[in-house]
Chain A
Amino acid sequence: MYGWLAVYYRELLILKRRFPKMLASMSVSPLLYLIAFGYAMGKTVTIQGHTYMEFLIPGLVAMSSMTRAFGIGSEINISRFYWHIFEEFQAAPINNISYALGETLAGMTRAFFAVVLIILLGLLFGVVLRYDNPMFWLAIFLNSFVFSSLAVGLAMIVKSHADQAMLTSFVITPMAFLGGTFFPLSRLPVWAQNILYFVPLSHASKAIRAASFGEPVSLPSYLFLAGTGAAFFFMAVCFVNRARD
């Protein structure tokens, strides 16, 4: 099991090298969403007793933790197809669980930084929520675990960069907009709500929002995220062998 530390350490070194650039790129989209949707368009809107800005920030936290955690898949692909660094891990005496764990934790670490950045940007707009609530951080932890595990698993079976980009376009982008990020799911027709119930981001948005407002959280959402994360992680471990040709 020790190998996960080496895999994680490598990702941390890369993160350290790219940190200033990564921080800048991480802040662009949330800042634009906050200005356009939160500040300009949503100035006079209130949802469920909160200003739209207050409603939006937990949604952005959920969305960014998803996209940044999922982004580890692209990093793995670059390592696999461009730099061939993945072969160094394949030739090392580390098992599949160690590899998947190291990469999953790396994705989760990136997600954590993205969340902190959104909280700081929110402060710039004068929004302070209940970030001291442990359930807020637990929901982020589980959400990033779900999407980081999914990314690691998919990165083992895709055959090119193009496949990876396609997955982001068809899976992550629709989820980002329909997972309760920008509007409450209760505004959609019941049949759509029923479908979106099975989308992990819907549960993450709901849990993160409730926790950040200091409201009672929905335990089934946490269980759903934990179960989905565990299933995706198991899939990732099984798929590591598929990356050997």
Chain B
Amino acid sequence: MIDFKDLCKEYGSISALRGVSLHVPKGEFFAYLGPNGAGKSTTLRILTGLTKMTSGEAYLNGFHIERDSLQAKRQCGLVPQTINLDQELTVYENLNLHGLLFRIPARERAGKIHELLDYIGLADRKGSVVSRLSGGMKRRLTIARALVHSPVILFLDEPTVGLDAGIRRRIWALIKKIQNNGTTIFLTTHYIEEAEFLAERVAFLDEGRIIAVDTPEALIARQGTWAIDRVVDDDIKTVYFKTREEATQYSAAREESFSLRRVNLEDAFLALTGKKVK
């Protein structure tokens, strides 16, 4: 469904991507996780035609992103990191314009827009000018817009950045619902819990390279199940254990303060790169 091989992107002397390769099968929820500047958005911009790759090969549903660029673009919907709705136009006009760009016939377009407005809970705001919507509504509308042409792949670039916890959870539920309808999801995020909660597989990206790809459970299991965080010289040192008993025994033997918790993706990333995702 999504295939890319040896993808490279250079901005002058700076290498944003250094030969990344990946295969995401149909219907999978895939998360691309890494700190700011790791190359997540660059990958996504290349795949969606916003940025030219320096070298490599990439296919969306079998269509080469440069040689069959128009066909490749029809396969995917994009939810960009920055909300790029037409602020002066209404909710309906924004969706209608997208449908026109993807050449959806008028009757089908109208039906799809109404269906999507119900889906995202904005049916009663279809005549509202976008600039008057809240941040969460705009984000939901951006997701709906990407679905007007019924893409088989949905790219989401940090879709919940800047949103509060409650709205973020609503967005997660919406994205999960979209995947349940058979859409392949490719999500970039630097929120650990987002990738852990939503994704079936995760790729860790660091300094333009993929350093690990696996299920969240497998990546976490590489480190252990339980972790103890200890404050040592103004820093936090973490020790990992296979079982809770091992962790408890370790802490019982020490008098210093500590906290016991389950291992998460952040630990897995930290172990591989020596740095945190955020």
Q: Contact at A93–B78, with CB atoms within 8 Å?
A: no
A224 at the interface (CB under 8 A from B): no
A5 at the interface (CB under 8 A from B): yes
A89–B89 Cα gap in the complex (Å)? 16
Among residues 44 to 61 in chain B, which have CB atoms less than 8 Å away from a CB atom of chain A? 45, 48-52
Among residues 1 to 25 in chain A, which have CB atoms less than 8 Å away from a CB atom of chain B? 2-3, 5-7, 9-10, 13-14, 17-18
Chain A positions within 8 Å of B51 at CB level: 244-245
Among the listed stretches A79-87, A106-114, A153-161, A226-234, which one makes contact with chain B, having 4 or more residues with CB under 8 Å of it? Answer: A79-87
- The size of the chain B interface, using a CB distance under 8 A, is 28
Output the least CB separation between A212 and chain B (Å): 35
Given contacts A91-B50, A245-B51, contact A6 B88 (CB under 8 A): no
Nearest-CB residue, chain B, relative to A89: B101
Given contacts A91-B50, A93-B70, A244-B50, contact A84 B80 (CB under 8 A): yes
- Nearest first, the 9 closest Cβ-Cβ pairs linking A and B are A6-B100, A84-B84, A92-B101, A93-B70, A93-B73, A6-B101, A91-B78, A91-B48, A93-B74
Band of interface residues on A: 20 to 34
A193 at the interface (CB under 8 A from B): no
Please pick, from B48, B52, B73, B87, the residue contacting A83 in the complex, using a CB distance under 8 A.
B87
CB<8 Å pairs between A and B, sample of 28: A6-B100, A7-B101, A9-B97, A13-B86, A13-B93, A14-B89, A17-B89, A83-B84, A84-B82, A85-B84, A85-B86, A87-B78, A88-B84, A88-B101, A90-B49, A90-B50, A91-B73, A92-B73, A92-B98, A92-B101, A93-B69, A93-B74, A93-B101, A241-B52, A244-B49, A244-B51, A244-B52, A245-B51
Q: Contact at A5–B100, with CB atoms within 8 Å?
A: yes
Chain A positions within 8 Å of B103 at CB level: 2-3, 93
- Chain B 90-126, CB-CB to A under 8 Å as 1, else 0, gives 0001000110111100000000000000000000000
Residues of B in contact with A (beta carbons under 8 Å apart) = 11, 45, 48-52, 69-71, 73-74, 78, 80, 82, 84-89, 93, 97-98, 100-103
Nearest-CB residue, chain A, relative to B51: A245
Nearest-CB residue, chain A, relative to B84: A84
A84–B82 Cα gap in the complex (Å)? 8
A95–B87 Cα gap in the complex (Å)? 25
